[in-house]
Amino acid sequence: METLEQIKARVEQTLPPVKLDILPNECPAGERSLLVAASAGFAVAKFLRDDAQLRLDYCSNVTGIDWPDKELTEKTKVKQVMDGVEKEVEEVKKTLRPGFLEVVYHLYSMELKHGPVVLRLRTENRADKTRLPSLTPLWRGAELQEREVYDLYGVIFDGHPDLRRILMWDGFKDFPMRKDYVAPDDFEYEPTPHDEVLDAAKKHYPVEAKPEVKPEVKA
Amino acid sequence: MNTFAAMPPKNYEVLPKTDESGTPIGELLEISMGPHHPSTHGVFRMDVVLDGETVVKLKPVFGYLHRNHEKIGENISYLASMPYTDRLDYFCSMTNNWAYALTIEKLAGLAVPERAEYIRVIMAELTRLQNHTCLIGFFVQDMGALGTPMMYAFREREKILDLFESVSGARMMCNYMRFGGVRVDVNDEWLAQTKVLVDGYGKFLDEFEAFLTANEILLARTQFVGVLPKDLAISASITGPMLRAAGVNYDLRKVDKYGIYSRFDFKVPVGEHGDIYDRYMIRVLEMRESIKILQQALRDIPAGPVMDAKAKLRGFRPKAGEVYGRVEGPKGELGFYVISDGSPNPYRYRVRPPSFINLTILEDMCLGHKISDTAVILGSVDIVLGEVDR
C-alpha cells in the first residue's frame, strides 16, 4: 500500500481546497492517522473508497474519543541576562487546548487485502457544535457503530439514516463515555440505605428536616 | 377494582395497511419478538412488522445486557481488563484473550515465546471447534430439532471445556493469556489428551454431518433463505464465516498472518450463494481445517518458556501511543483499539465486536421471509449478547 504521505498528496491533488494533516503516533507499531476537516470528511472518505489504488471498501472499526479541555504546559529554555550574567532560565508557557470529540475510522481493503488507513474527524467543541458528516452512506457497516458513538459520546452524524440511541434507553439524557460523566450513585436501589450509600442518597434526595419528637414529661 | 389495570402492556400493535393511493386494504401486525424469546440466544429484541406471516420491517433493539465494558476498561489497569474480556463473548474466551493480549503486545513492543505462540494457536482453534459445533446445535434447534442435536454438540464441547479447565482452572472464563505469553504451561499429558480429542473430532463431524448435511428439512429451511449478497456483505463490514459464505475470501489468519499462522497449511473455505446453508457448510469445513491446524501445532510444539522475560505483570505502563489489533475470532474480526497516555490505565479502550456489527444487515436478510425464518436467520448470524451489548 502507498505511504500515508503519498495518499495525502493524492487526495490534496484530486480535491484541491482540502488539506489533510498526518497525526503522529508515538507507538512505533501503531499506525499514524489522517486528520480531515469535518466539512471535507465525506468527500475524502469517498475518494479513499473509490480510488483504484486504495479501494478501501471495508470500514472495520468506528469509534469515538473524548478529549476534554486540557492545559498544555510547554517548557522552553530562554537565555536571560540577570545581574550582568547570562543564565539559562526555564520558562513555562501554559496554553489551554479547547476540548473536542473525535471519531476514528479504521479502513481496510478486502479486495486488495491491505490497510489500515486511520481516518479522524473532529468536532468543533464538546458542547453545542458536535455535528459531523455520517459515513454510513459510504459504508453500511458504520451504521450501528455511528449510532453507538452518538449514544455514548453525543456526536451528531448528519446524513445518518436512523440516528437513535442504541445501547442506552430512549430518554436517557447524558453521554456515558465522556470523561466528565458522573455515574449516578443511587442507581442501585437499597430499601434501607446506610453508611456511604445513605450519604450519597441524601445528596440526591435532600431529606426533609423533621422536628424532633420529645418524649412527654409528666409533671 | 379493575384487575386488568395491573396487567403488562400488550406486546403487539395492529397497524393499518394501505396501498399506494392511501386506501386501507388490510392490517399489519407489529410484534415484539424478544427479549425473552428462546431463539434470540439471550436478551435481544426484534421489532417485527408482519403482513400475514411475511416480514415487512424488522428493527433490532439492543442494550439489555449493556454494562459499558469500555468505560470499565478505562478505569482499571491494563491487566485487569483481561478477565473482563472473557465476558464479552463467553463462548470464546480464549480468542478474546488473544485479541487483547496481541493488541497490548503491539502497543508495548513485547515478544511472545515460541511455545506460547503454539499454545495460543491450539487454544484458539479448540475454541473455534467448540463455538462452531455449538452454533450448529443451536441453530438446528431453532429450526425445531429440539434437544438431540444440541446435546450431541454439547457432548463434544464438554470435552474441550474439560481441557480448558485442566489448564486454566476455569471452563468458560479462562483468563489464560497474558501480555507476552500465557499464564501457565501445558504438560505432555495435556497435549496427549488434546491429540486424542483432535484425532477423534473428524469422526464426530462425519457423524454430525450424516444427520444434517443432506437432511431434507434442513435443506428446505436453509437453502436460499436469508441470502446476503457479496457487495452488501463487504459494505456492511460483515466478517467471519458470514462473510466467507457470501463468497469473499477474507480470513485474517491468512491476511494478517498474526501469531504463527503463516507456518500452518490450511485452506479458507468460501461459499457461493450467501444463504444459511452456505453459512452452515462453511462452519463445518472450517472445523475440518481447524483440525488440520491443530494436528500440525500439536506435532510441532517446541519446548521452552511460555512468558516473555521482559514482560511485567505488575506496574505495567506502556508508553503513550495508540494501536489497533485484530484476530479472526470464531464469529468474525475481533479487534481492540487502545490509546495509552503513559498511565497505568488505558485512555481509551474500545472493543470491535464482530457479532454486533454482523447484525447490521439482519433486516435486509429477513425481509420477505416468514416470521419463523427470522429465528433461523438470526441463529445463522451467530451472536452472543455479552459481546453485542457489552
Same domain, A149 and A182: no
How crowded is residue B371: how many other Cβ atoms within 10 Å of its Cβ? 18
Residues A131 and A38 in one domain: yes
A194 assigned to some structural domain? yes
DSSP sequence for chain A: ---HHHHHHHHHHHSTT--EEEEP-SSTTSPPEEEE-GGGHHHHHHHHHH-TTT---EEEEEEEEEE--EEEEEEEEEEEEETTEEEEEEEEEEEEEPPEEEEEEEEEETTTTEEEEEEEEE-S-SSS--EEE--TTT-TTHHHHHHHHHHHH--EEET-TT---SSSPTT--S-TTSTT----TT-S--SS--HHHHHHHHHHSPPPPPPPPPPP---
Based on the fold, state whether residues A119 and A196 are members of the same structural domain: no
Question: Do residues A107 and A185 share a domain?
Answer: no
Tens-place pLDDT, residues A95-113: 888 889 999 999 999 888 8
- Among B271, B273, B272, B254, CA closest to B263: B254
Q: How far is CA A141 from the centre of its chain?
A: 20
Examine the domain organization and report whether A61 and A105 are in the same domain: yes
What pLDDT shows up at residue B3? 46
Judged by a CB distance cut-off of 8 A, whether residue B67 touches chain A is no
Cell matching residue A174: 447524558
Residue of chain B whose alpha carbon sits nearest to that of A152: B68
Mean pLDDT value across residues B147-160: 89
Average of per-residue pLDDT across B253-269: 90
Indicate whether A155 and A195 sit together in one domain. no
Q: Are residues A39 and A50 in the same domain?
A: yes
Q: Is residue A96 a part of any domain in this protein?
A: no
pLDDT in the model for residue B144: 82
B339 band by pLDDT with thresholds 50, 70 and 90: very high
Query: Is A153 in the same domain as A198?
Result: no
Together in a domain, A186 and A131 = no
B1 pLDDT band, cuts 50/70/90, is very low
Share of chain B above pLDDT 90, in %: 43
The CA distance from B95 to B129, in Å, is 12
Q: Out of A30, A104, A141, name the one closest to residue B236 (CB).
A: A141
Which residues from A are below 8 Å from B107, CB to CB?
A: 27, 29-30
ipTM of the complex: 0.86
Determine the Cα–Cα distance for residues B344 and B74; give it in Å rounded to an integer.
Answer: 10
Predicted confidence (pLDDT) at residue B120 exceeds the cutoff of 90: yes
The shares of helix, strand and coil residues in chain B, as percent rounded to the nearest 5, are: 50, 15, 35
Distance from the Cα of residue B86 to its chain's centroid: 12
Predicted confidence at residue A193, as pLDDT, reads: 67
Whether residue B345 lies within 8 A of chain A, CB to CB, comes out as no
Instruction: Say if residue A36 is in the same domain as residue A111.
Output: yes
pLDDT for position B45: 86
Q: Name the residue range of residue A29's domain.
A: 4-67+101-176
pLDDT at B24: 79
For B119-131, what is the mean pLDDT? 93
Q: How far is B65 from chain A (nearest CA, A)?
A: 9
Residue A86 lies in a domain: no
A118 interfaces chain B, CB cutoff of 8 Å: yes
CA distance B245 to chain A (A): 15
Ranges of chain A with pLDDT below 50:
none
Percent of chain B with pLDDT over 70: 97
Q: Does B319 touch chain A (CB under 8 A)?
A: yes
Q: How far is B176 from chain A (nearest CA, A)?
A: 24
Chain B CB contacts of A166 below 8 Å? 62-63
In a domain? residue A78: no
| Cβ-defined contact of B68 to A65 (cutoff 8 Å) | no
**Cβ-Cβ contacts under 8 Å, A169 against chain B:** 63
- Cα–Cα distances (Å) from B227 to B213, B361, B369, B377, in that order, read 18, 11, 10, 9
Helices B114-142, B148-168: axis angle to 10 degrees equals 160
| pLDDT tier for residue B197 given thresholds of 50, 70 and 90 | very high
Give a yes or no: residue A76 inside a domain: no
Residue A50 covered by a domain: yes
Q: Tell me which residue in B68, B323, B356 faces A27 most closely, judged by beta carbons.
A: B323
Q: What is the CA radius of gyration of chain B?
A: 22
**Residue B256: C-alpha distances to residues A26, A92, A166, B348 (Å):** 22, 45, 31, 24
Alpha-carbon distance of B388 to B351, in angstroms, equals 10
Is B64 near chain A, with CB under 8 Å? no
Pairs of residues, one from chain A and one from chain B, whose beta carbons lie less than 8 Å apart: 100
> Are A162 and A185 members of one domain?
no
**pLDDT tens-place string over residues B292-322:** 999 999 999 998 888 887 777 778 888 888 9
A192 shares a domain with A117 = no
**What CATH number does the domain containing A171 carry?**
3.30.460.80
* pTM greater than 0.80 (yes/no): yes
CB-CB: which of B66, B70, B234 is closest to A58? B234
B248 with B230: CB under 8 angstroms?
A: yes
Residue A143 forms contact with B (CB below 8 Å): yes
Number of independent structural domains in chain A: 2
Provide the pLDDT for residue B85. Answer: 92
d(CA A37, CA A15): 13
